[in-house]
Amino acid sequence: MESLSFAVEGASASSCQQEWIEIQDNLKRKLVLEDDFTWTIPPGVSCLDRDGKAKRIQYIGGVDVSFVKEDPSLACGALVVLDASTLDVVHEEFQVVRLKVPYLPGFLAFREAPIILGILEKMKQKDHPFYPQLLMVDGNGILHPRGFGLACHVGVLSDLPAIGIGKNLHHVDGLSECGVRKLLDARENMGKDIIPLFGKSGQAWGAAMRSTPDSVKPIYISPGHRISIDSSLEIVKLCCKFRVPEPIRQADIRSRIFLQKLKGSGNLISLEYSAQ
């Protein structure tokens, strides 16, 4: 797995921004936006295919970063791994860190990607049996002002297929949240759960999805790396019990519980002290 130094401690947001844009541009050259994996997606084969190679996907990872309310610079990264057939959690990993990188809109990856990549690297070094075959990321893939969101960062640097799940829509290529909601509510789309997102340029950026019948707000899905838009949608549909796909929902819930337990035991205070 590649590593990358995202920022220098103490550097201002403005001084980091140009460097971050250059890093995004360099990583974007490695981006793969077509299916590049050996497993199949249900309802595909449940065993070996004709060539004896491709198996149905087994392990889907979900990643999320939660923050301590009293101190937003203290964060807990979570990676949960779900059995793709049952959506049961089979493994979870956490890492609490003190963030020293400033947040700028459009540059979420420079705060959160190092935490996620650190957890993945830890599992990879242990040759963990539940190492994910695909990641769902609480953040955008190509549906991003520069076409390279958090899911792209994590996907390229981990070399894993990755899907971005956004709860809010970036204004990209003429797309707007208001415009997408009008499309979803249009008479001709009343029976549709998925609305493709095409920008003014004609480029396909992903899709808005009503993930459950009672969902009022859509989620915004875009490929992050080594997967197409169509396959991203198929996998997300398989993982939705609620509005947010189960891998990300579980990562969010469990990271918050993990922080609460640390705080209740007093260990969070010692972590805060050691992180300073």
Structure tokens at 66: 């939660």
CA distance 193 to 234: 12
Q: Is the pLDDT of residue 189 over 70?
A: yes
- Measured CA to CA in angstroms, residue 242 lies from 18, 39, 114, 219, 246 at distances of 39, 25, 28, 11, 7
Structure tokens at 80: 């949960």
Percent of the chain beyond pLDDT 70?
87
Structure tokens at 236: 């997300």
pLDDT of residue 103: 83
Structure tokens at 203: 């480029």
User: Are the C-beta atoms of residues 242 and 211 closer than 8 Å to each other?
Assistant: yes
In the sheet that holds 59-68, the strands lie side by side as 89-98, 71-83, 59-68, 134-138, 162-166, 219-225, 204-209, 194-198
Residue at token pair 């080594």 = 226
CA distance 148 to 45: 32
Measured from the Cβ of residue 268, the count of other Cβ atoms closer than 10 Å reads 21
Q: How confident is the model at residue 51 (pLDDT cuts 50, 70, 90)?
A: low
User: Are the C-beta atoms of residues 165 and 143 closer than 8 Å to each other?
Assistant: no
Structure tokens at 181: 């909601």
Q: Is the pLDDT of residue 4 over 50?
A: no
CA distance 262 to 92: 16
How many residues does this entry show for the chain?
276
> Among 17-21, 136-140, 215-219, 267-271, where is mean pLDDT lowest?
267-271
pLDDT in tens, 75-124: 999 999 999 999 999 999 999 998 888 888 899 999 999 999 999 999 99
Mean pLDDT, to the nearest integer, of 62-69? Answer: 92
Q: Is 155 helix (H, G, I), strand (E, B) or coil?
A: helix
CA distance 240 to 249: 9
Q: How confident is the model at residue 59 (pLDDT cuts 50, 70, 90)?
A: very high
User: Are the C-beta atoms of residues 1 and 158 closer than 8 Å to each other?
Assistant: yes
pLDDT of residue 3: 43
Q: Which helix (H) or strand (E) holds 208?
A: strand 204-209
Global confidence as pTM? 0.90
Chain mean pLDDT for the chain: 88
pLDDT in tens, 118-152: 999 999 999 999 999 999 999 999 999 999 999 99
Q: How confident is the model at residue 274 (pLDDT cuts 50, 70, 90)?
A: very low
User: Which residues lie below 8 Å from residue 213, measured CB to CB, with a gap of 6+?
Assistant: none
For the chain, domains (ranges, CATH) are: 2-274 (3.30.2170.10)
pLDDT of residue 11: 55
Measured from the Cβ of residue 91, the count of other Cβ atoms closer than 10 Å reads 17
Q: How confident is the model at residue 265 (pLDDT cuts 50, 70, 90)?
A: confident
pLDDT of residue 52: 57
